Amino acid sequence: MVQLNKTGIVMRPLKDQLGCFARFNPGVYFKDGIVHMLYRAANSDIKDGANYVSSIGYAKLDSDNKILYDSNKKVIFPTLPEEVKGCEDPRIVEFEGCCYIFYTAYDGVKARVAVAKTTDFILYNKLGVIDHFGYDKDAFIFPERINGKIAYMHRISPNIQLDYFDSFDELLSKDAWTGYEDRIDSSIIMKSEYDWEKRKIGGSAPPIKTDKGWLLLYHAVDDKGVYRGGAALLDFEKPSIITARLPYPILEPAEEYELFGDVNNVVFPEGAFVYKGQLNVYYGAGDKYIAVAQIDMDELLTELIKYPV
């Protein structure tokens, strides 16, 4: 068995600042020794009901996870009817010269996936909201086209789906999703297999290309509501094919900051990158903090291929 090695909390809530109650669930993008982080911020307890609204802030960290800059202001926040109750859980993907941000738009009734893009983490352009029959979350695209298509992974509970589009206009078009409820089975690529995944699974960090296939980090929830992190490998050319999958979690709540928070028993990976042979995974802990865990990439891949699907 392999496990991610936890290095601890890298960001906490700050009194009288953005995210004074919780800073968690970060997307990250690593370039030139800098970790660009978009984090979910909440200024009240989730139990606060009507007053609980999430927004997204921005920070820069060095390769040792020292915070170099914190916007301490909302960079993505509710401006659309679909997001009046929050912009949540960003994932960042570099794709064809831009960083695309996939986040959850919540209106208090339904969760949808929203898409924005940036080239500098200063200006953000909202492209729109994906709308169809279901409550949709945990979304991102692959960092390159698959057979000429944009490969879009998302989660309509309890399974993970993968769909393909020619363009972002098509992805965001309501027409492209017409009748999706009737054909969703053909899009499902991963279902719960083990007890620690019993309630639902969802994609975590955007896929990372390795010499063994696409590495997919995902999260899972058991029937007691405990969140854990898992790993699988997807085929290069047909990522709907799972080639290997660990039968056990590589990240699970054990530290006090993971066991107790705004939501207890939560580790929620959202961002990852490889640096000097180490896979660095950034995750929300207890829906309250941001923490990091690491593992040697070769060690993880060697373990994964022991469990072919």
* Angstrom distance (rounded) from CA 264 to CA 26: 18
What CATH fold (topology level) applies to the domain 9-304? Tachylectin-2; Chain A (2.115.10)
Decide if 265 contacts 259 (C-beta within 8 A): yes
pTM value? 0.97
Token pair in block for residue 306:
């022991």
DSSP codes, 221-262: E-TT--EEEEEEEE-SS-TTSEEEE-SS-SB---SHHHHSSS
In the prediction, which pLDDT does 50 show?
Answer: 80
pLDDT band at 51 (very low <50, low <70, confident <90, very high): confident
Residue 47 has pLDDT above 90, yes or no: no
In the block, residue with structure tokens 């991610």: 4
Mean pLDDT of the chain: 97
Write the pLDDT tens digit of every residue in 284-302.
999 999 999 999 999 999 9
Write the pLDDT tens digit of every residue in 69-106.
999 999 999 999 999 999 999 999 999 999 999 999 99
